[in-house]
């Protein structure tokens, strides 16, 4: 076998393995735990959201896993790569922890944030809980306000906004 043919076969095998690894389901990359809820399978009916009437909050974490007898929410961002978790993603995960606490009656000690190439165990401590509650209070205050200024300055996000046609503060 010539070196060119052998090299071509080796390259084809490497590409096949890379594609196979990229197609690996997110759940396979989670820590060893029993999956109790999975909202990531395309075509499957959506799982029911967790709803907290007390906090006026509802959401669907990507996964709920049982780890050492505790229910842990998992938020997966499979296309995102970063050296550290984004603050908004951490807040979203903390909101899911609050939902688990209120709806399932069990406060998770942490949630798992999964990006394309790494995961973080994000503590759900008193400070994280207080931050979520403060944001919910601020959202309630904004909802009751007569006028709320836009909260971003990113033209791309503004251009894709579903409320753009009715917004008097849209970016040019």
Length of the chain equals 172
Average pLDDT over residues 125-136: 97
Q: What is the pLDDT of residues 25-82, one digit of tens each?
A: 444 445 566 776 666 666 667 678 899 999 999 999 988 998 888 999 999 998 999 9
pLDDT given for residue 13 in this prediction = 45
Q: What is the pLDDT of residues 85-110, one digit of tens each?
A: 999 999 999 999 999 999 999 999 99
Ordered by start, the domain boundaries in the chain are: 1-30, 31-166
Higher pLDDT, 12 or 94: 94
């Amino acid at each position: 076998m010539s070196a060119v043919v052998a090299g071509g076969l080796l390259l084809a095998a490497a590409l096949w393995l890379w594609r196979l690894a990229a197609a690996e389901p997110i759940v396979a990359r989670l820590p060893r735990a029993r999956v109790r809820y999975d909202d990531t399978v395309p075509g499957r009916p959506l799982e029911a959201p967790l709803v907290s009437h007390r906090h006026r909050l509802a959401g669907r974490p990507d996964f709920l896993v049982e780890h050492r007898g505790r229910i842990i929410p998992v938020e997966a961002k499979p296309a995102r790569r970063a050296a550290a978790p984004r603050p908004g993603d951490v807040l979203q995960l903390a909101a899911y922890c609050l939902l688990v606490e209120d709806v399932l009656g069990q406060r998770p000690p942490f949630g798992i944030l999964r990006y394309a190439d790494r995961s973080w165990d994000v503590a759900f401590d008193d400070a994280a809980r207080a931050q979520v509650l403060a944001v919910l209070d601020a959202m309630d205050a904004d909802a009751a306000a007569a006028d709320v200024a836009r909260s971003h300055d990113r033209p791309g996000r503004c251009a894709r906004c579903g409320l753009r046609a009715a917004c008097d503060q849209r970016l040019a």
